[in-house]
Structure 1
Amino acid sequence: MRYIYLFLIFIFLVTLFSFVVEEDAVPVREIKVEAPFDVPNITVPDFSMSESFPITDFGAVQGDKDKTSQAIAHAIDEAHKAGGGIVVVPEGEWLTKKIHLKSNVNLHLNEGAVLLFSEKPADYLPAVHTTWEGMECYNYSPLIYAYECENVAITGQGELKAKMEVWEKWFARPPAHMNSLKRLYNLAAKDVPVEERLMVNDSSHLRPQFIQFNRCENILLEGIKITNSPFWVIHPYLSKNVVIRNVEVFAHGHNNDGVDPEMSQNMLIEDCVFDQGDDAIAIKSGRNQDAWRLDTPSKNIVMRNCLVKNGHQLVAIGSELSGGIENVFVDNCEVEEGAQLNHLLFIKTNERRGGYVKNIHVSNIKSGKIDAGILGIETDVLYQWRDLVPTYERRLTPISDIYLTNVASKDVTFISRILAQEELPVKNIWLKNVSAVKVEGENLIHENVQNFHREN
């Protein structure tokens, strides 16, 4: 009996040691970020001493989607089991299905490497726990998906590219698609368990995100190029400690925002290039009842030294902001001439959202012509939802403490347009040295604004 006890203790210690090695094998490093508010040091994984796992060692074959997908999954498994590793995609074009990352894994694309993602929806099944415009559901897997992971990275000089033959047909929103959205809205409003919100069928056509980090921590995206996307391009969701650096995004499809931080905290986006069919950065924090349940604001988000070649806004906040958004700093960014921007900063909400927006700083921005204006704030933005579904619970959104400094644009329609409710005015807006070469209409168009300051 004594030997049995000793053997069991030995097994326990070996298991414990293996667990510790796996969890601690990839060290993290801290990045200090300066902002007008306190930002905790952001931790990211350091794979500089990690072992490499080339996908060709696991049977990847160019042009063979099945073999390459299996090889990538096998390499990720082995890197994870080793306690950490770099899954290397060599030069060449590699057709693949979905990729699911695991903790302590770095997906690295060598120069000249292209991961080309299949356009077939069946390649992104079975359904996973994800979201659609701020509502949780089970839907097609994002093309690259990480769920409850720590220490994950996508790096290198290669390209992630989505085939679009099917997804671009899904950009349209026919009645069957809108009925599915209405169904999801009602399920979320009534707090139906997420597991029962299956949105994969013949007609829902809820397009997946390209990259989603769902409930993850310590995330690094660096150096890669991303081309095309079915939906939002980079989506950190309920995640902490995210650095997106030297990434170039080109995606001109419907809802092709560049980065959508949602209920995520401690983020740095720097030295990136965005060429979008929608917003460059769209900061969100969930929609209505789902976000009230999850109760997690987006905060401590810094964007700096970025170039926007095209997009609807440099930075949009909302309209899915029901968990609250605070502590955002956008600094030293440029919008190219001809970018067809609507606003530099646009904050949008409606009577269903609740949440809050506060402590938003935008400084040292240069822009070409803007179709609308530099600052826009609107509190009655419902788009097609106004008549599609009811307001189950009315909650207004307090918006305050917005600071714009040293912002220069070419032609605009207005400098600032703020349209708020009489019962909850927007408060504390500061514009310092904010100007345009030409203003086509009124400089300031304001309804229900308190404590607005402008100085040159």
Structure 2
Amino acid sequence: MDDRINILIAGLLLCCTACVPHADPESAWMAAVPHKANVGAANLPDTIAPVNAPFAMPRFSTLKFPDYVVTVNPENIPAGKLATGTIQAAIEDVHARGGGRVVIPQGLWKTGRIILKSHVELHLEEGSVLQFSADVRDYHPAVFTRNEGIELYSLGACIYAHGQQHIAVTGTGKLVGPGPGTVRQQTMTHDVIERVVPLDKPVDQRVYEGDGGGTIFPPAMISPIGCRQVYIEGITLEQSAFWNVVPIYCNDVVIRGITVNSVGIPRGDGIDVESSQNVLIEYCTLNAGDDCIAIKAGRGIDGQRVNRPSENVVVRHCLMHQGHGGVTVGSETAGMVRNLYVHDCVFEGAGIGIRFKTRRPRGGGGESLYYERIRMNVEQTALRWDMLGSALHVGELASDTPLPVTPLTPRFSDITVRHVIVESAADFMKVDGIPESPLTGVSITACRVASDRFVRLKHAVDIQLSGIHFAGKDSTVNLYSCRNIGIERVVTGSMMRPAVVSTGNSDGIRIK
């Protein structure tokens, strides 16, 4: 059966190559895909345009605060002391008066953890630098946080908020993370987090304060938890100890015009949305030590216990430079990621463009995910589904052997990709699905692709590729254990004979 499929598909796809006219390079959709000069922080507009997404979204606007302003005065900082107390006193004052702005003027300000309060805008003027301490003690006491999808108490974030509303961090100043010191020395790096944190204990007993040189979980740069109306605009973040901007359990979040530089930082993600709803990310420029933007929803049994999704998230007009992935879903998705819309972005130098990650013991997954008008120059793969992971992190669960479906078996489904220009990549599309939970329901249409290799699908069901113009060395479509795969209007720019290698009991292969 497989041999007959191979012969039939090879012939039909060759006919497609000869007979289908090439798409007009000046077509409307191609002209609408942005270039890197059109996106990122340098192009931030003054106002927030309405969001037009495939799902309902609220109208976002710039947060307004009362006129009361407190400017932090360096003369109020005791000699030889950090600015933490002075900055925090200003925040408490503004909060107590019903709200307003705390201004950090030009200069270098060395500080420990800052805690934002409701109705307070922390504004960094041009030339101001908040340099966060490298000493674990300057983040005491431990606070409630979520680290890599698991709830615990540890250092929290350099700028932290819990249960607040109507808060902002704005300006053209800079946040610089901890340098060499106990924060980095005591960070847990020896194992995956679920094998370190005792998940059978109540959360308030999972405390990692770092006393006596003990393990800590590092602070993010900015992380509001359980907050409403969060607004972050304009600032630059560098040298993070961990993830940079991380809203957790938040609703109504705007992140716009920020610049992140964390290249070389392990786990130095740019923006991570954790179990949050109604989020807009726009006009950001990201150079990350890990993923530029990642959408997450908790890890394994702890994430399922919380059971809060990330949903209604829009990413637009962003410029992703270096990073493991341009926009990634996962790998912590226990509460599900749904209603994500990424459009009008440029990935210029990332390892992978659009990236999906799950792991068998982490649960959840993603659905109703939409991507369009994206331009890519990536080093590895334009569209990558890595659903199994490696044995280094999940042991035997990374095996390609089918296992029984459990509550911790993740899934991805209902994904739409269209109007993507891949200017360079090693592979256009690679899928490693889970044998008992294959990737399901993906539509990829109207793409211009220049990559070394075309498509490899493993454990995938109901995949449709249509209107793809491919120019590359190897136009082979490799299928392993796939069902109901449709390919139509594929145009190749090479003289190589297109072919489909169908193995592993693949069936339902349709070519038009």
Answer whether TM exceeds 0.5 for this pair: yes
- C-alpha contact 2:293 2:327 (8 A) present in aligned 1: yes
* Aligned equivalents of 1:246, 1:64: Cα separation in 2: 34
Task: Tell me what 2:417 maps to.
Answer: 404
Residue 138 of structure 2 is aligned to residue 123 of structure 1: yes
- Cα 1:51–1:240 change in 2 (3 A) is same
- Unpaired segments of 5 or more residues in structure 2? 1-46, 468-512
Between the two proteins, the alignment pairs up a number of residues equal to 413
SS of residue in 1 equivalent to 2:351: strand
Task: Tell me what 1:354 maps to.
Answer: 363
Cα deviation code 1:49-95 (max 9, x no counterpart): 4210111188147x8543x2111111011110001010110111111
- C-alpha contact 1:44 1:242 (8 A) present in aligned 2: no
- C-alpha contact 2:161 2:227 (8 A) present in aligned 1: yes
- Unpaired segments of 5 or more residues in structure 1? 1-28
- Cα 1:194–1:30 change in 2 (3 A) is farther
Residue 449 of structure 2 is aligned to residue 436 of structure 1: yes
- Cα 1:373–1:30 change in 2 (3 A) is closer
Task: Tell me what 1:108 maps to.
Answer: 123
How far apart are 1:410 and its partner, in Å? Answer: 2.6
Task: Tell me what 1:427 maps to.
Answer: 440
Task: Tell me what 2:271 maps to.
Answer: 259
TM-score (norm 1): 0.85
Task: Tell me what 1:297 maps to.
Answer: 309
Task: Tell me what 2:383 maps to.
Answer: 375
- Cα 1:172–1:240 change in 2 (3 A) is closer
- Cα 1:52–1:58 change in 2 (3 A) is farther
Give the share of equivalent positions with the same residue, in percent.
30
* Aligned equivalents of 1:203, 1:434: Cα separation in 2: 51
SS of residue in 2 equivalent to 1:45: coil
Task: Tell me what 2:456 maps to.
Answer: 445
Q: Which moved further from structure 2: 121-130 or 418-427?
A: 418-427
- Cα 1:145–1:382 change in 2 (3 A) is farther
**Could you say what the CA RMSD is over the residues aligned between the two structures, in angstroms?**
2.5
- Cα 1:168–1:214 change in 2 (3 A) is closer
SS of residue in 2 equivalent to 1:229: coil
Question: Map of 1:59-138 to 2, 5 A cutoff?
Answer: 59-60=76-77, 64-66=80-82, 68-138=83-153
Cα deviation code 1:15-47 (max 9, x no counterpart): xxxxxxxxxxxxxx9974211211133466312
Select 2:54's aligned residue among 16, 20, 36: 36
How far apart are 1:388 and its partner, in Å? Answer: 10
SS of residue in 1 equivalent to 2:55: coil
- Cα 1:145–1:58 change in 2 (3 A) is farther
* Aligned equivalents of 2:184, 2:132: Cα separation in 1: 16
- C-alpha contact 2:243 2:272 (8 A) present in aligned 1: yes
Task: Tell me what 1:237 maps to.
Answer: 248
Residue 340 of structure 2 is aligned to residue 328 of structure 1: yes
| Higher relative contact order, chain-length normalized (CA < 8 Å, sep 6+) | 2
Residue 53 of structure 1 aligns to which amino acid in structure 2? V
- C-alpha contact 1:44 1:241 (8 A) present in aligned 2: no
- C-alpha contact 2:208 2:214 (8 A) present in aligned 1: no
Task: Tell me what 1:270 maps to.
Answer: 282
- Cα 1:128–1:90 change in 2 (3 A) is same
- C-alpha contact 1:318 1:348 (8 A) present in aligned 2: yes
* Aligned equivalents of 2:247, 2:75: Cα separation in 1: 29
TM-score (norm 2): 0.76
SS of residue in 2 equivalent to 1:310: coil
